[in-house]
Amino acid sequence: MSKRLRSSEVCADCSAQDPCWASINRGILICDECCSVHRSLGRHISQVRHLKHTPWPPTLLQMVETLYNNGANSIWEHSLLDPASVMSGRRKASPQDKVHPNKAEFIRAKYQMLAFVHRLPCREDDSVTAKDLSKQLHSSVRTGNLETCLRLLSLGAQANFFHPEKGNTPLHVAAKAGQTLQAELLAVYGADPGTQDSNGKTPVDYARQGGHHELAERLVEIQYELTDRLAFYLCGRKPEHKNGQHFVIPQMADSSLDLSELAKAAKKKLQSLSNHLFEELAMDVYDEVDRRETDAVWLATQNHSTLVTETTVVPFLPVNPEYSSTRNQGRQKLARFNAHEFATLVIDILSDAKRRQQGNPLAGSKENVELILKSISNQHSSESQDNDQPDYDSVASDEDTDLETNAAKSNRQKSLDSDLSDGPVTAQEYMQVKNALVASEVKIQQLMKVNINLSDELRIMQKKASKLEKQSSMSESDYDNPTTPLELEETGSGRKGRQRSVIWQGEGSIPEDTDTAPSSSLPSTEDVIRKTEQITKNIQELLRAAQENKHDSYIPCSERIHVAVTEMAALFPKKPKSELVRTSLRLLTSSAYRLQSECKKTLPVETCPTTDIQLVTQQVIQCAYDIAKAAKQLVTITTKENNN
Which pLDDT band, with edges at 50, 70 and 90, does 254 fall under? low
Q: What is the pLDDT of residues 171-211, one digit of tens each?
A: 999 999 999 999 999 999 999 999 999 999 999 999 999 99
Helix (H), strand (E) at residue 295: helix 275-301
CA distance 370 to 252: 9
Determine the pLDDT at residue 372.
30
Give Cα separations from 88 to 84, 85, 91, 366 (angstroms). Answer: 6, 5, 9, 68
Determine the pLDDT at residue 310.
47
Helix axes 261-272 and 441-451, enclosed angle (nearest 10): 100
Determine the pLDDT at residue 521.
84
User: If you average pLDDT over residues 302-312, what whole number do you get?
Assistant: 53
- Residues 336, 376 contacting (CB under 8 angstroms): yes
- Residues 31, 12 contacting (CB under 8 angstroms): no
**How far is Cα of residue 553 from the mean position of the Cα atoms in its chain?**
25
**How far is Cα of residue 452 from the mean position of the Cα atoms in its chain?**
26
DSSP conformation letters of 141-155: TTSS-HHHHHHHHHH
Rg (CA), the chain: 26
SS3 48: strand
User: If you average pLDDT over residues 163-171, what whole number do you get?
Assistant: 96
SS3 75: helix
- Residues 102, 93 contacting (CB under 8 angstroms): yes
Question: Cα angle at 260 between 256 and 262, to 5 degrees?
Answer: 140
- Residues 354, 429 contacting (CB under 8 angstroms): no
Write down all domains in the chain, each with its CATH number in brackets: 3-112 (1.10.220.150), 126-223 (1.25.40.20), 261-400+411-446 (no CATH), 454-643 (1.20.120.330)
- Residues 365, 264 contacting (CB under 8 angstroms): yes
CA distance 183 to 593: 47
Determine the pLDDT at residue 376.
28
Q: What is the pLDDT of residues 439-492, one digit of tens each?
A: 333 333 333 343 344 334 434 444 543 544 444 444 334 343 333 333 333 333
Which pLDDT band, with edges at 50, 70 and 90, does 260 fall under? low
Question: Cα angle at 402 between 407 and 400, to 5 degrees?
Answer: 115
Whole-model pTM over 0.85: no
